[in-house]
Amino acid sequence: MVGSGDAFGSGGRFQTCIALGPDDGNAHTLVDCGATSLVALREQGFDPNAIETVLITHLHGDHFGGLPFLVLDGQFRRRTTDLTVVGPPGTERRLAEAMEVFFPGSSTVRRRFEVRVVEHRDRAPFSTERFTAVPFEVRHASGAPAYALRVQDADGAARVAYSGDTEWTDALLAAAEGTDVFLCEGYTPAPVRWHLDLGTLGEHRDRFDTRRMILTHLSPTALSADLSGWETAHDGLVVRV
């Protein structure tokens, strides 16, 4: 868990970023890449140039805004590994726009590596030699469809899912089904539009078929609420499956 905070640095936490990889700590895949993620990766000892794939749940800055920094860092640090970004419909355009806003000219410069963008189709698997990811459309306004993601490693030994940001939808049950770990937004104690609150999640908790649910994307009010009975994420948390 590279970043477990909300968009605004709740509790001093980094924005959403989940690193996937083997036990030796060399992450090859990120799930979401918030604006703070390059800093968080460096702080936690990950090599950004080793990231091959970034899976994006939705096009809010705290979930995809770190991509321009990741791409430019690769350019300046002589990255040669291609980078694949898999995100909602519109990701290719939004990424180019974000790069041009932050670093004019950066979206069209020639590099030693390719940045390939693949856009999700609801419940259509995307596979690499390392894993298969399936997006489940959820309910969160972000200028494009938003998704929960389920990722299963290539030999089928580990299955993890992440809710992204969303208000309640039964699609979360499908995304989490049969997983070892389900990382779930626990944004606030009380309901707030387009997000998942602890009360609503508690009502549905017994319906989830997952071995372990861990709350993330906690706001300051959630962090100061009674979280007994919940497992919560923190920056730097390592989960072995």
Catalytic residue numbers?
Answer: 62
**Of the residues 60, 120, 150, 159, which one makes contact with Zn ion according to CB under 5 A:** 60
Selection from 198, 183, 191 nearest residue 148 by Cα: 183
Shortest distance in whole angstroms from residue 85 CB to Zn ion: 17
Min separation Cβ 152 and Zn ion, Å: 24
User: How far apart are the C-alpha atoms of 16 and 187, rounded to whole Å?
Assistant: 12
Which string of x and - marks every residue 10-49 that binds Zn ion (by CB under 5 A)?
----------------------------------------
Helix (H) / strand (E) element for 198: namely helix 198-204
Question: What residues numbered 154-193 form the site for Zn ion, per CB under 5 A?
Answer: 165
Residues 241 and 229: their CA atoms lie apart, in Å, by 21
10 Å Cβ neighbour count for 78? 10
Work out which of 4, 57, 62, 144 binds Zn ion, going by CB under 5 A.
62
Q: Which stretch binds Zn ion (CB under 5 A): 39-47, 61-69, 111-119, 169-177?
A: 61-69
Shortest separation between residue 105's beta carbon and Zn ion, angstroms: 28
Work out whether 94 is an interface residue with Zn ion (CB under 5 A). Answer: no
Nearest to Zn ion of 152, 163 (CB atom): 163
CB nearer to Zn ion: pick between 12 and 104: 12
Report the chain's terminal Cα–Cα distance, integer Å.
13
Task: Write the DSSP string, 89-129.
Answer: TTHHHHHHHHHHHHSTTTTT---SS-EEEEE--TT--EE-S
Nearer to Zn ion, 60 or 150 (CB): 60
Least Cβ distance, residue 76 to Zn ion (angstroms): 28
CA 17, CA 32: separation in Å to the nearest integer?
Answer: 5
What DSSP character marks residue 161? E
Point out which residues bind Zn ion (CB under 5 A): 60, 62, 165
